[in-house]
Structure 1
Amino acid sequence: MNHASEFPELMRKLPIDRRRNVPIPAVTAHHPDGEPDFSTVDGREAFRLASEGRCGICAQPFADEVAFLGGPGAAAVGAYHDPPMHEGCAEASTRLCPHLARRDMRRLTDRRSTGELPAGSSPEKPDVWVMWICQGFSGAVVNAMPVFLPEAYTRLRIFTYTADGQLHESFDTTPGVGG
């Protein structure tokens, strides 16, 4: 069972989903009944927080670097639908978000809060996740969905699934780390 003290410092003030016992990220969409829809990002909130220089997970201001987390396709084109985050919040998401942490966990397909996937997104889950860490970003709205364009990366962290389906970091471009 997760306890708030086990969450990264920046995430400890977030509301907790009592059913899943995990923090509710700041950009999580909500169903009409108020229940969090973890499968959908609230695009307006994501763009608002990003434009204010704040993390899409904890809503706290960025100090210097920002991180983006997505599949290899997002990294290849340098464009992300999920908002910028603190590196620590992105790293915690690789452990706390069931969709990321476990290969066999799939997102709901009905997307009850919006019914839409961002343009260019695939419902297929990647086998590899790329954390792009950089100094800044720009953003745009394309087809009513936010798109975040990170600056050139200073580091990349690569996460893959183990034989038992758990996500783990397999490579970090920081000198002396990963491999």
Structure 2
Amino acid sequence: MDPARELPDLMRSLPIDRHRGLPIPAVTARHPDGGPDFSTVDGREALRLAAEGRCGICGNPLDSLVAFLGGPGAVEAGAYHDPPMHESCAEASTEMCPHLSRRDMRRLTDRRSTGVLPTTGTEEKPDRWVMWICRGFAAYVVDGMPLFRPTPYLRLRTFAYTDDGHLRETPSTTPRP
């Protein structure tokens, strides 16, 4: 991991992937050899942590506010496949996750851990990411995949790619659902 990047306190206990130097989120699926599959969420673990009121990134208990991170389509639908998290963990993800933080970074298409994307998922990367911050959520299983429906948002934070391809927070432009 880049020493200039400081992990939020809640993420300090996460294991670090020795190949990429990145913290391994709690819901990251595993390859058969035990290595992390950063391109896939372990749906069972995401649902378990959510049911226990724990963050999908750090695994620690959630606060009174929870955050969801997704593209504009997730905001429009009011539904997320990625689990609830602390706002600080979601913000750290926008800086540390190569897929999120860099416009030109694509997810690997090799999904050896589960082999599938959610049926509503897409390989298309959005031009911006929106953090939905609210007080609660409901969790469902749809087509064998976890689906989280947050309560009405208190705040939205929008992150867009700069001209040099890095993700940065911008004023929110997403209309209220």
Instruction: State the TM-score, normalizing by the size of structure 2.
Output: 0.95
Unmatched segments (≥5 aa) in structure 1: 174-179
Task: Give the conservation status (yes or no) of the 8 Å contact 1:80–1:147.
Answer: yes
Task: Give the conservation status (yes or no) of the 8 Å contact 1:28–1:37.
Answer: yes
Moved more, 111-120 or 161-170: 111-120
Q: What's the CA shift for 1:112?
A: 1.3
State the match for 1:130 in structure 2: 130
Residue aligned with 1:60, SS: coil
Greater strand content:
1
CA distance in 1, matches of 2:171, 2:113: 35
CA distance in 2, matches of 1:156, 1:58: 21
Deviations 1:69-119 (A, max 9, x none): 000000001000000000000000000000000000000112111110012
State the match for 2:69 in structure 1: 69
Q: Which amino acid aligns with 1:57?
A: I
Q: Which amino acid aligns with 1:66?
A: V
State the match for 2:88 in structure 1: 88
Residue aligned with 2:100, SS: helix
CA distance in 2, matches of 1:92, 1:5: 9
CA distance in 2, matches of 1:33, 1:119: 26
Instruction: State the TM-score, normalizing by the size of structure 1.
Output: 0.94
Aligned CA distance change for structure 1 residues 24 and 4 (closer, same or farther; 3 Å)? farther
Cα RMSD over matched residues? 1.4
State the match for 2:57 in structure 1: 57
State the match for 2:168 in structure 1: 168
Q: Which amino acid aligns with 1:34?
A: G
Moved more, 94-103 or 110-119: 110-119
Residue aligned with 2:81, SS: coil
Q: Which amino acid aligns with 1:109?
A: T
